[in-house]
Amino acid sequence: MPLVAVAHGSRDPRAAATVEALLDQVRRATTVPVRVAYLDHTRPTLAQAMRGLDEAVVLPLLLTEAYHSKVDLPAALNELKAAKPGLRVHYGTTLGPHPLMLSALERRLAEAGVEPGDPDTAVVLVSAGSSDPQANAVIADMAGAWAERGWWGVRAAYASAAEPTPVQAVTALREAGAPRVAVAPYLLAPGYFADKVRDSAGADATAEVLGVAPELVRVLLERYEAALTIRPDSRSRAVAVR
């Protein structure tokens, strides 16, 4: 059954290039037909990506459950189903949270010269941030779980919509006595937020975005298999705008 991965979309061409490169790795790992769609700024749209399909697994290529996965994408799917009543959609969950995400984050930190679990390094886990407090709480929970891997400490931060900001988190860790502070962007692709974090955080090291990480390929395929067990349309209807 085809997999349609739906990313947020960005005016920055680096974002779409990263998404395409990630999905190329997914295609190499499976015989499943893989298509891409974007919610904004970039084509193809979801309607264009779904053209010619009667049934598909739709996966939000997003890192947390928030407005886009809870409202925007289900609403777009409902529009498609209204126009094509026979369309069957198995709507899967977002990439995160997932234990492999921490492994991917540590991979990126290691590439930036930070030894995973270094007891002399504190880490700021930075997400884009959301107006949905539950989404932000997921990042805080991830930081708590990551702190158990040996770091001096791990603190969550948000590039927008919530506090602490990356600068505030870095400053707080330094004031608390952390010998070294590293920033780990919990971001899928380069773009506005990644640049903002890199330019403003003031840490000793800043990792690259998750990008084309093998862990993300594994998570995406796992989400696909799980979505196949979901009754078509059940989840997208449950969270649609009313």
> Among candidates 26, 8, 24, 21, which has minimal Cα distance to 220?
26
Task: Specify the range with the lowest mean pLDDT, choosing from 46-60, 71-85, 144-158.
Answer: 71-85
At 158, is the pLDDT very low, low, confident or very high (cuts 50, 70, 90)? Answer: very high
Three-class DSSP category at 60: strand
pLDDT score for 241: 29
Q: Considering Cα of 26, then 220, then 58, then 62, what sign does the dihedral take?
A: negative
pLDDT score for 75: 92
* First-last CA distance in the chain: 29
pLDDT score for 159: 95
pLDDT score for 237: 43
pLDDT in tens, 113-131: 999 999 999 999 999 999 9
